A and B are shown apart, each in its own frame.
Chain A
C-alpha cells in the first residue's frame, strides 16, 4: 500500500524512503516519521487493542502520553513490548507487531469481553470467584492470568549494552519547546553551564506541530536557529532523545538518553541507552502540556484522536489521518486543527464546538453549542453523531475526528516530591503547586502559560532570575515576537447522553459508568477511585485520563475538582527499560571479582574456585584421577595432618592499628584484653556488637610498642573497619590511634602440619625453632634471602602452623617457592573445603556459627568476655535472655552409625520425640566429612548442649527426609589437648 494519506509539508525527508513492516505487512515511510505517523500515512488507523475489553484502537496522541497504539517492536532477543508507536522513530527495516490480541489484530477472539462488558464492570472480580475456595488457583486465576498483560517479553537475554553517567550543571532545562529554548538561550549566552534535554528526536516541542510564527519565520525554523546558536556554546549541552524521568533530592535528576533506539541495532561497542544522573544547581521544567479528550459514547474508535495530535500529524509529518476530518472542541485551541487542515487542503466536514455563541470560523461548517454523542465504525471511524444546539441529532460521515477538552500542563516532575498541584479555573487545569523539588520551577505551558509569547517570556525571565541567583550577569536580549492568543475554554468533561460507554482511561477501559459505580459504592476518595477502577494505572499513568476522572467524580459528589484532589505522579515520567537502570552491572559484571595472590598459580593447577563475597578462593585442587571432590578434599586433609599443607589466607581482613593508645583502643573493641599482650606475640580476639552478640573474631598481633595488626574474618573486613572508625572518632575522639587497611598489601599463606617448620625453614631467613619462635609468636622477618615479610605462628587447623606474608606482588612467586620447597615433604596446597574440615575437627567457629545471633556463651567462649573492663558489648551481654542456663551451646555431633551422612541445618530432636517445635533442640550449623574420624561430623547449637555431652539424640532433616541417630560430643574432635599446634 502506498502512503495514501501523505499530504504536503512536514519535517520529513521525502527524498529518502524507509521500509518497515507491521504485523508482517510491508510499508514505506520517511526519515523523521514515527511508526505511528508512517502507518497513518499508509492509511493504517488500527494499531492496538485495549487491555480489558480488547477494543480496536488507533493512536489517541502523537506523543509519549499515548495509551492505545502500543506495539511489540523488533523481534527475537530484542523484542520490546508496549512500545508507543507515537514515539518510536522510524528506521529502515523496522519490524513491529500488534499485541494483546488473538489470532489477529482485526479479528480478536478476546473482544468477547467487549460483548460481556456489562458483567465486567469496575471491581466485579472482588465480588465473585470465591466459591469454591480451591477454584481460585485452579480455575479462575489461570484464566485471568492467560488474559493478563499487554505485550510479551522475550525469554532471551537482552543482547544490547547500557551505559550510565553523571552530568553536572548550573541549570537543567527539561524540554526544548519555545520556553525551554528561550531559557537555554538566555542562560547559555550568559555563560552558565546548561543542560537542555528533550524527549523528542527533534528540538522545538509544539513549534514543530504548529503553524505559529516567531519573528516572522515558522516556529520550527526559529527553533532550528536557536538550536544552531546553542550548539556553538561550549557551556551548553544539548541532549536530544533524552527524557528526564525523575526528580530526586538536592537537585539530582535521572534522565534516559536513547542512544541507539533509532537504529536497527546499536553501533559496535555503543550502548542502546544511557542513564544520566544529572546534578543541577537549578532546574527549569519546560515540558509543555498534554491535551485531554472529552468523553462521549464510543469515543475510542481508531481515527478519533486529540485535536492537537491530528494537527501535529498534518503539520509535522505531512499526514492527514482521514480523507474527511471533523473536530470536537470546548476551546479555541481545538479550532486551530480545522483551520490548519483546511489550509492544507484536507476536507474538514465539521467543527463541533460545545460552546454556545461566539464567532464562527470562516469557510468551515462550525457548529456552536453542539456535541458529539456517538460514533460508528468497528475497526475505524466511519461517522459521528452530533447533537446540534437545537437538540436535533445529525450523523456526519468522517474518518478522522480531532477532540480537544483542553490542555493539562506536564507538571509530573514537579510532583515527584509529592507536592500537590494547584487548580487554575481560567485554564481548567492543574499547574505545579508549592513544595516541589527545591530549585525547580516550571515555565511555559508546563506552568499554564499557553501562548507562544507567554512561553518565551516566562522562559527568559525565569532564566534571568536563576542567573542572578547564581551570581551570573546576563544581558537581556529582546524577546522575539510571537502569537499571544488568550485561552478560551468552557470545561466539558463528558457528554451526558445515552446508556453507552464513554471512555476516560482508554488503555484500562475505564468509562464514565465505572466512575459512577465507584461513587455509588462509596469509593469516592480519589485514591479509592483510582484503586477500585484502575483509572490512571495504565502505561500512560493517566496523563490523558486522570483529570477527567476527577472531574466526573467531583460532579457526582458535588465537590470542586481541587476538593476532590489529585493523585500524586510518581517517577518515572515515562516508563524506563530495566536494562538502562542496571547499566553494566549484569552477568559476570554484576559485581567486581577479587583475585587472591595465588589465583594465577591455582588456575594453572586446575583449581576449583568458590565465590566468597567478591573473592574467588580456591575451593579444592583436584589431582589427576580424582573424579569426586571428596577424594581431593580427603587427600588434602590427610596430607596436611600427616605432613604439611599450604593455604592462601590473604582474604582475611588485615587492619594496621598504631598509636600510643592502640592497646587501650583494642581493650575497648575486643571483649578480652590486649593491652597486656607482649610485643612479638599475638592473641585470639573476640569482638562483640554493642548488643552483646558476637560480631567478629580473629587474631591480633603486637608488632611493636604502639603497633598492632588485627585480622578479621573475610566477610566482616569492611564492617569491622567501619566499626573501629566509629569507636575511634565518635566514642573516644582523643585516643591516639591511627587505622589503615592492609588486607591487599600482603599475600599471606598458612603453612600447617607436622612438617610446617621444616618447610618454612627453607624459606624464612631466621631461626623459627619452638624456642626462638614459640606458639602465638609474631613478628617482622625476611624470606628468600632478604625479602621483607611477616610471620605469625597461629593455627586454625590445630596443626603446628605458621602464617607467612610477603608484599602481594611476590605472592605468586612465594606459593611456587613453597610448593617447590614442600615437595620433599609431599606438601599439598589446600582450599576452603579442607580449611573447613580441619577447623570443624578442632571445633573452631566460623561464618555458620558467627551468624549475628549468637553470644560468646553460645560458642563456649563466655569466659573470654572480661567483666573487669568496659568494652563494646560487655554490658548488654549480661542480659538474662543471653545467659539462660538452658540456652544454645556449641557441641560436636557424630553419627552413631559411621556410614550415616549428616546435613547442616538438620534439627536436634530427642530420640522418640515428636517432630514439633516444642521438642526442637537446636540445629547443626556446619557439617563435614572427617577422614580422621571416618565419618561425617558436625558442629551444632544445642539447647543446654554443655550438659548433653555423650547423650544420643537425632539429627532430623525433613527436607531430604533423613533422621539420623547421633552422639553429642565435645566440639574438639581432633587433638583436644592441642599438643600438635605447640609441637
Chain B
C-alpha cells in the first residue's frame, strides 16, 4: 500500500530511529514493528485458539510473551493480547489479523500508539531497579507486564538476560527516553 506522499516520523520526531549508548547500556528505538491488539469475543476462545494455531500466531499465557517466525505476542489482560509483526510486511496488521480471526476476535491497530525502546546491557539490574519495581533478576525470560517508570505506564518485556523491550505511550517518547538516559548515566 503506497504512502509515498506522506513521510513517516518516529515517535521522537525524527526521520530515523535513535540509538544511544551510555556506558554499557544500549538503548535502541524500534520503528519497524507493527502492533495490534487482539481480544477474544465472548465464548469464542476455541475458535481463536484454533485460528491462531493455524496461522502460527502465539497466544502466550498471562504475563508472558512469545514469538514465532512471523508473529510475536504478549499478554495484556484476560483474553487480550498485543500482536507484533514486521512493519514492512504487516503495516496494515489489523487487516491481516481480521482475515485470520474473522468475527471470533476484536482486533485494533495499535502500531503508532506506542514508542518502543529495546534496552540491553551485560546486566540491566542497576538500571531497572532505579526505573521500576519489576524484580528483573527474579523475572523469567519471556515475562511481559505493565509497570510505571517516572509516572509513565509502560509494557516491559524481558526478551533475555540483559535484553528488555519497553513499550511506552508514543506521545511521551521524549520524556521516557530522558528518564532512561539520566538514569543510565547515574549508574554507568
Contacts and interface: CB of A to CB of B under 8 A. Distances in A.
Chain A directly contacts chain B within the complex, with at least one CB pair under 8 Å = yes
Interface of A: 161, 163-168, 269-271, 274, 277, 279, 584-585, 589, 591-596, 599-600, 614-615, 656, 658-661, 706-707, 734-736, 738, 740-747, 783-788, 806-814, 817
Nearest to A782: B1
Contacts of B188: 269
Nearest to B183: A163
B152 interface: yes
Contacts of A783: 6
B152 A592 contact: yes
Interface stretch (B52-60, B62-70, B102-110): B102-110
B114 interface: yes
B169 A594 contact: yes
Interface in B147-167: 150-152
Contacts of A785: 2-5
A599 B13 contact: yes
Contacts of B152: 592
A239 to B, nearest CB: 12
Nearest to B23: A269
A751 to B, nearest CB: 16
Interface residues of B, number: 54
B6 A746 contact: no
A744 B171 contact: yes
Nearest to A784: B5
B144 interface: no
A745 B133 contact: no
A163 B114 CA distance: 26
Nearest to B184: A269
Contact of A786 (B1, B80, B110): B1
A64 B138 CA distance: 35
A279 B5 contact: no
Given A166-B132, A584-B179, A809-B10, 7 more contacts: A269-B186, A595-B172, A659-B106, A740-B80, A740-B110, A783-B6, A786-B1
Contact of A594 (B6, B43, B113, B171): B171
Interface of B: 1-11, 13, 31, 37, 39-43, 80, 92, 103, 106, 108-114, 129-130, 132-133, 135, 138, 150-152, 169-176, 178-179, 182-183, 185-186, 188
B41 A736 contact: yes
B7 A279 contact: no
A585 B182 CA distance: 12
A784 B42 contact: no
Contact of B112 (A163, A584, A734, A745): A745
A599 B130 CA distance: 30
A738 B2 CA distance: 31
A277 B130 CA distance: 10
A742 B42 contact: no
B41 A738 contact: yes
A599, A707, A742, A817 pick with most chain B CB within 10 angstroms: A742
B113 A744 contact: yes
Given A596-B171, A599-B13, A600-B13, A808 B113 contact: yes
A350 B100 CA distance: 94
5 contacts: A166-B132, A269-B188, A734-B42, A741-B113, A810-B8
B78 to A, nearest CB: 9
B39 A738 contact: yes
Contact of A165 (B114, B130, B176): B130
Contact of B170 (A161, A589, A592, A808): A808
A743 B113 contact: yes
A593 B111 contact: no
Main secondary structure of the interface of A (DSSP, over half): mixed
A807 B108 CA distance: 12
Contacts of B170: 744-745, 808
B186 A659 contact: no
B67 to A, nearest CB: 21
Contacts of B129: 165-167
A592 B178 CA distance: 10
Given A163-B130, A166-B133, A745 B106 contact: no
B186 A163 contact: yes
Given A615-B171, A744-B114, A788-B92, A660 B3 contact: no
A810 B39 contact: no
B1 A813 contact: no
Contacts of B5: 784-785, 787, 813, 817
Contacts of B113: 741-745, 808
Given A746-B112, A786-B2, A738 B130 contact: no
A665 to B, nearest CB: 12
Contacts of A707: 106
B18 to A, nearest CB: 14
Contacts of A742: 108-110, 113
Nearest to B170: A744
Contacts of B183: 163, 584
A744 B13 contact: no
B135 A809 contact: no
A550 B156 CA distance: 53
A734 B109 CA distance: 25
Q: Which of B37, B103, B173 has the largest count of A CB atoms less than 10 A from its CB?
A: B37
Contacts of B41: 658-660, 736, 738
A926 B92 CA distance: 43
A659 B106 CA distance: 7
B117 to A, nearest CB: 14
A593 B13 CA distance: 14
Which of B3, B135, B169 counts the most chain A CB atoms within 10 A?
Answer: B3
A167 B134 CA distance: 9
A599 B12 CA distance: 11
A272 to B, nearest CB: 11
Contacts of A741: 113
B150 A810 contact: no
A660 B103 CA distance: 9
A811 to B, nearest CB: 8
Contacts of A274: 130
A431 B138 CA distance: 36
Nearest to B147: A166
Nearest to B42: A736
Contact of A658 (B106, B171, B173): B106
Nearest to B176: A592
Contact of A809 (B8, B37, B185): B8
Contacts of A167: 129
